[in-house]
Amino acid sequence: MKTPYLEISHIGIEFTTEGEPFRALQDVDLSIDKGQFVSLIGHSGCGKSTVLNIIAGLYEASEGGVILEGREVDKPGPDRAVVFQNHALLPWLTVYQNVELAVKRVFRKTKNKAEMHEWIEHNLSLVHMDHALHKLPGEISGGMKQRVGIARCLAMQPKVLLMDEPFGALDALTRAHLQDSLMEIQTSLGNTVIMITHDVDEAVLLSDRIVMMTNGPAATIGEILDVKLPRPRNRLALAEDADFIHYRQQVLEFLYDKQKNPQIEKKPTDAARKLQEVACKPASSHDDAAVDTGKTTTGTDKTRAA
Query: Dihedral (C-alpha) 39, 5, 56, 163: value to the nearest 10 degrees?
Result: -30
How far apart, in whole angstroms, are the C-alpha atoms of residue 164 and residue 149?
Answer: 12
Binding flags for ligand ATP, 6-45, as an x/- string (CB under 6 A):
---------x-x----x-x-----------------x-xx
- Taking the complex as a whole, how short is the minimal distance between the CB of residue 110 and ligand ATP, in angstroms? 35
Q: Count CB neighbours of 254 within 10 A.
A: 21
Contact status: 124 vs ligand ATP (CB under 6 A): no
Residue 283's contacts (CB-CB under 8 Å, 6 or more residues apart) are none
Q: How far apart are CA 68 and CA 91, in angstroms?
A: 32
Q: Binder to ligand ATP among 41, 46, 163, 178 (CB under 6 A)?
A: 46
Counting residues that bind Mg ion (by CB under 5 A) gives 1
Name which of 24 and 271 has its Cβ closer to Mg ion: 24
Using rule CB under 6 A, residue 48 touches ligand ATP? yes
Q: Which of 39, 49, 214, 259 binds Mg ion (CB under 5 A)?
A: 49
Amino acid at 261: N
Residue 153 φ then ψ, to 5°: -70, -45
Total residues binding ligand ATP (CB under 6 A): 14
Site for ligand ATP in 87-106 (CB under 6 A): none
Query: Residue 298 and residue 21: Cα distance in Å, rounded?
Result: 15
Q: Is 298 in the site for ligand ATP (CB under 6 A)?
A: yes
Q: What are phi and psi of 71, to 5 degrees?
A: -120, 135
Which residues contact Mg ion by CB under 5 A?
A: 49
Which residues contact ligand ATP by CB under 6 A?
A: 15, 17, 22, 24, 42, 44-50, 216, 298
